[in-house]
Amino acid sequence: MEPYPFFTPLPAATADSVTVKGWFYLRKAQVAALCDSRTARSGFDLDAMEALRRKLTTFETRVSLNEMTPGTAITQFQQWLKDDGDRGAWQAYVDDQTTKDDIERERQRVEAEARKITDAETAARSTAMSICNRHSAGLLSNREGAPVGRVVCGMAVIGSPGVTYEGFSGQDMHGLVTNPLITPLITELVRGITQSENWPPESCAEVDALKRWLNGPGAGVNSIKEIPGDIFVFHARVWHPGGTWGGKKTSQGWKDRGACVYCQHWIKRIGAKSV
């Protein structure tokens, strides 16, 4: 698909033939489309707009056939506008095209922002999968009793391609963190969360991934209010040792899982996203 042709001002008289010919061609095409779409509410004179279309076509053709130099075409068109040969059609066209351009810029902006989020979601999933591939035999918690699989997490940063962080459940796996300010930050992050699972909220894989960010780019963060959570996307997977899980017989292996009730709480608190 050809890129959207945004309006550009009249080229300088010193511009080359290809530039000038292309400029007249695009303006002619846009003016012709405006003529074709005219309604009673359009607010411009159709005869004047048709005259503008013919004038643009003439200059494009003459430059293409080398019957007129690019500089002469530019100069004569400028003079025609100055003499009000267009009877207001040029300004009506520019106003209409500016509105269309603004709409298209906003559409592209929204699309680009959505693409950043989608890319981050993909990166978070890929990071979690990479951990699982490295630990294809699984990861078990050091908790006593029946085997309990660990949770691993990928965290991606929206708008920063390739910037991802890994996380592992169990504070014994959080050993890479060295910043002494992180512990009080995590305490603040999980404050008020009722312990409803069989592990403390600060031991989650998502917490570990956030710690790793705080230990690097976020080293200057002094409060959870300073964490730009809306740029983070988390994706977690859990190792299931096999056997009965959720009332069903399941095989051994890594499985996708959503954030636990702890992480749902603080992820929402900072405005981040879990997929």
The model's pLDDT over 194-232, given as tens digits with 9 standing for 90+, comes to 877 788 899 999 999 999 999 999 988 999 999 998 999
- pLDDT tens track for 134-182: 999 999 988 776 778 999 999 999 999 999 999 999 988 886 677 788 9
pLDDT of residue 272: 96
Predicted TM-score of the model (pTM): 0.80
Segment 253-262 long-range contacts (CB within 8 Å, at least 24 positions apart): 253/138, 254/132, 254/138, 257/151, 259/206, 259/234, 260/151, 260/197, 260/204, 261/196, 261/197, 262/190, 262/193, 262/196, 262/197, 262/201, 262/204
Count of all residues that appear for the chain in the document = 275
Pair 239, 149: CB distance under 8 Å: yes
